[in-house]
Amino acid sequence: MGQRDTLFRHLAILQMLPRAPHKLSTSTVQMRLEEQGYTMTLRSIQRDLEKLAEHFPLECHKECKPYRWNYVANYTSDLPAMDTVTALTLVLAEETVRSLLPKVAIDKIGYKFESARKHLEGMHENGFSQWSKRVRAIPNGKSLIPAEIQPAVWEGLTDALLNHHAVNVEYLSRLKGELKTYTLHPLGLVTRDSSSYLLASVNSHDDVRQFALHRFRSVSASASLYRAQPDFNVQHYIDQGAFGFPLSQEPVKFIARVITSVAWLLAETPLSHDQSLSEPDADGWVQLTATVPNDQQTQWWIMGFGSGIDVLEPASWREHILQQAREVISRSDDYESPSCDV
């Protein structure tokens, strides 16, 4: 076992020991070490404690076995607080947290991320130290390169959201390709796939709109009074289908025939809580029934299965998919391959 592993193990022991009159048994120390990835015998832990007692004001109570340990009553510890499990949690969370917290918060805890990485890098035989290299979460579908957000834009918008004040912005309109100026009243921030969006009301209006952060060209504090919406809830806004490009607020009954492989997928990861799947028919098709949001995102998901799904209801969805197919075929028919002289 390497010296750094021993050092971190000793540090973990010192961090968990209480001050008198409280005590911790050697067997409890063993259990807590195992929770942090250290597998040690009681005898080895006892030796560790005896060695540590040569340098720290530790007391050993031998009235019964296993022995019990603590610091003397008046000892004040200045040991670093991070343990291996905490370090692992911070390393795994860093990528997500950095895209959600305002700059002022990142500035305050950034050093903890760095300390966590160094803590794990300094360990070799502890299983937790390698965990962050062995696990990954991947998106469902094609992952695009995240859009670039100007640091000043991120700082200005997150500060406005944090402190409840309006901002004057210059924003590139996607539809018209023009630079627009607005006074925004930030209400929320949502990261979806490779893009982040500010939820805000505009000027004197109360309706909530979405603004892609990478399309902001400038952000500055506004003298306008901030128009708060105390009842606004980001999760409720999302649940209403705002990011699914809703066609209506009411869900629809979705009925389709699917091939066996799609049925297997949906049996393991259902489309909705009320989903049902029939037994395969003579041709191997399974009928799917589910209540789903009436939005474009669900329709795009359906079309991703291609010929593996046959939509029956709603009739408007079936017609939309057929129209999309007709347009693809029409473009294919219009394409003329260059002729070659033989």
Residues 228, 169 share a domain? yes
State the Cα–Cα distance between residues 233 and 216, nearest whole angstrom: 24
Angle at 65 between CA 60 and CA 70, to 5 degrees: 25
Both tokens of 22, joined, read: 């409280």
Residue 53 included in any domain: yes
- Give domain status of residue 36, yes or no: yes
Residue 271 lies in a domain: yes
Residue 182 sits in the same domain as residue 235 = yes
As for how many domains the chain has, the answer is 4
Residues 26 and 60 in one domain: yes
Name the pairing type of β-strands 68-71 and 167-172.
unpaired
Residue 213, exposed/middle/buried by CB under 10 A (0-12, 13-18, 19+)?
A: buried
Number of H helices, E strands in the chain: 11, 12
CA distance 184 to 172: 14
Return the SS3 of 192: strand
Q: What pLDDT is attached to residue 18?
A: 86
- Domain enclosing residue 262, as ranges: 252-333
Domain harbouring 34, CATH code: 1.10.10.10
Amino acid at 56: F
The answer as to whether 59 is a domain residue is yes
Cα(310)–Cα(303) distance, rounded to whole angstroms?
A: 10
Same domain, 228 and 171: yes
Instruction: Retrieve residue 105's tokens.
Output: 């918060």
As a whole number of angstroms, the distance between CA 128 and CA 8 comes to 12
Q: Say if 76 falls within a structural domain.
A: no
- Say whether both 191 and 234 belong to one domain: yes
Kindly state the average pLDDT of the residues 124-136: 70
pLDDT at 342: 42
- d(CA 273, CA 278) in angstroms, rounded, equals 16
Q: In whole angstroms, what is the distance from residue 299 CA to residue 310 CA?
A: 12
Confidence band of 40 (pLDDT split at 50, 70, 90): confident
Q: Are residues 266 and 315 in the same domain?
A: yes
- 157 and 235 share a domain? yes
Same domain, 127 and 59: no
Same domain, 160 and 235: yes
- Is 341 a domain residue? no
For residue 72, the one-letter residue type is V
96 alpha carbon, distance to own chain's centre: 5
Task: Summarize pLDDT for 256-312 with one digit per residue, the tens.
Answer: 999 999 999 999 999 999 999 999 999 999 999 999 988 888 888 898 888 899 999
Is 89 in the same domain as 127?
yes
Helix residue spans in the chain (DSSP H): 3-16, 26-35, 42-52, 84-98, 103-121, 127-134, 151-163, 234-239, 260-268, 296-303, 315-334
CA distance 266 to 281: 17
Q: Which two tokens stand for residue 316?
A: 């408007």
* 26-35 helix and 3-16 helix, angle to the nearest 10 degrees: 120
Backbone CA torsion sign across 197, 200, 202, 206: positive
Average pLDDT over residues 57-73: 90
Q: Is the dihedral of CA 244, 247, 250, 251 positive or negative?
A: negative
Question: What's the pLDDT at 213?
Answer: 92
For residues 100 and 158, give the distance between their C-alpha atoms in angstroms, rounded to a whole number.
9
What's the pLDDT at 335?
Answer: 62
Average pLDDT, the chain: 84
Which pLDDT score, from 0 to 100, does residue 80 have? 55
pTM across the whole model:
0.59
Residue 50 lies in a domain: yes
pLDDT digits (tens, 9 = 90+) for 80-108: 556 677 777 777 777 777 777 777 667 76
Residue 167 lies in a domain: yes
**Are 217 and 164 part of one and the same domain?**
yes
Residue found by looking up tokens 């607080």 in the block: 81
- The mean pLDDT of 141-161, rounded to a whole number, is 84
* Other Cβ atoms closer than 10 A to 70: 19
Claim to verify: residue 125 and residue 158 sit in the same structural domain: no
Kindly state the tokens that stand for 261: 């492989």
pLDDT at residue 339 tops 60:
no
